[in-house]
Amino acid sequence: MAKTMSRSANRILLFLVLLLFLIGGSLFYVWSRIQVIQLGYEISNALKEERALAELNKRLRLEIATLKSYTRIEKFAVEELRMTKPKPDQVIVIR
């Protein structure tokens, strides 16, 4: 009688251990899939931010080029600062 009880207890223990591994493996699989999805969203957001920053960079470079324009600077100097071009005898060349 004790032998049969020991065998059934061993079988129940083995079944519980296998069940525990099955549940643990399933939980790990689900967790890893959730992590993959979450990382996919993060990558997508990072790529979207990269595109927005690249566009901003383009606009800022264009603005710099516009602000450095010789025509614009000359117009500003004449109209706003009341400057005039120097006469040839006012120019001193330094070498």
8 pLDDT tier (thresholds 50, 70, 90): confident
Separation CA 13–CA 3 (nearest Å): 15
Q: Is the pTM of this model over 0.75?
A: no
Separation CA 41–CA 54 (nearest Å): 20
Helix (H) or strand (E) holding 91: none
What does the pLDDT read at residue 71? 92
User: Does the pLDDT at position 1 exceed 80?
Assistant: no
35: left (phi over 0), alpha (psi -120 to 50) or beta: alpha
Report pLDDT digits (tens) over 42-93: 999 999 999 999 999 999 999 999 999 999 999 999 999 999 988 988 888 8
The pair of three-digit structure tokens given for residue 55, joined into one six-digit string: 């566009």
Q: Which residue has the tokens 């993959």?
A: 36
